[in-house]
Amino acid sequence: MKIHAALATSLVALAALPAIAAAQPSAAPPPPPGGGGYYAGQPPAPTGGFHQRQGRPMIGFGLGLGNLQIDDSDVGCPSCDYDPVAFEGDFHIGGMLSPRFGLMLELQANGQVVDETSYGTTTMTQITAMVAGQYWVSPRLWIKGGIGAAHLAFDYNDGYESEPIDDGAAVMAAVGYELVSARRFGLDLQGRVVSGSYDGIDQNITSATIGLGFSWYGLGSGGAVIVVH
């Protein structure tokens, strides 16, 4: 499929971002004649309280809880004697192109129990791989959007193999607030909505979750002290 080929090309480029960012020169060139305050080629210090994360690789993950919907109806579990909650896990890797914008590969998995018997449980899972951009509106508040591919399946814990349902396209929107904000680390409270569109079953599967995210900027690039502003 064309969407898968285009996504694969994008993911390869994104996977190289941390190495490109890490390859930035560690020492600044000598100052220009006259003793100017900035070194030649040095990016200006960001204003407004933003951290100087430009050129740094970024990596992180998140965990959340919420619900799943098929079109406009909540996913349920008629055979369960409880109301299952959908879980969410995500991972991202990329690089900061400016103090306020990062480009990354975003992977996310959502799942919810849809059937329970004496033999075990059946979980409907949606896995997405997306190209995403994250923009800091303020030093702590950010928004994110992404587009990519989605895979829907039933997973069993009774010894049976996973059963694929369909492959489709995915879109994602998220917003977060950094509870802990430092140049090299961020801990944020985030809300995420991811929707997978599947032509084969003519349905949309949408997840909405709230959780915590952990991100590192330039991990191992010098200094281990985190200062919270």
C-beta separation of 173 from 209 below 8 A? no
Domains and CATH numbers, the chain: 2-21+53-217 (2.40.160.20)
C-beta separation of 175 from 193 below 8 A? no
Classify residue 35 as left (phi > 0), alpha (psi -120 to 50) or beta: left
**Which residues sit opposite 120 in a β-bridge?**
117
C-beta separation of 209 from 65 below 8 A? yes
Spatial distance between the Cα atoms of 62 and 192, rounded to a whole number of angstroms: 10
Structure tokens at 220: 């191992």
Per-residue pLDDT of the chain (229 residues; tens, 9 = 90+): 433 444 444 444 444 444 444 444 444 445 555 544 444 455 566 777 899 999 999 999 999 999 999 999 999 999 998 889 999 999 999 999 999 999 999 999 999 999 998 888 999 999 999 999 999 999 999 999 999 999 999 999 876 788 999 999 999 999 999 999 999 999 999 999 999 999 999 999 999 999 999 999 997 544 333 333 3
Spatial distance between the Cα atoms of 15 and 155, rounded to a whole number of angstroms: 28
Using only the alpha carbons of the chain, give its radius of gyration.
Answer: 21
Of 49, 207, 60, the closest CA to residue 132 belongs to 60
Q: 73-74 and 57-70 as β-strands: parallel, antiparallel, unpaired? A: antiparallel
Q: 185-198 and 203-217 as β-strands: parallel, antiparallel, unpaired? A: antiparallel
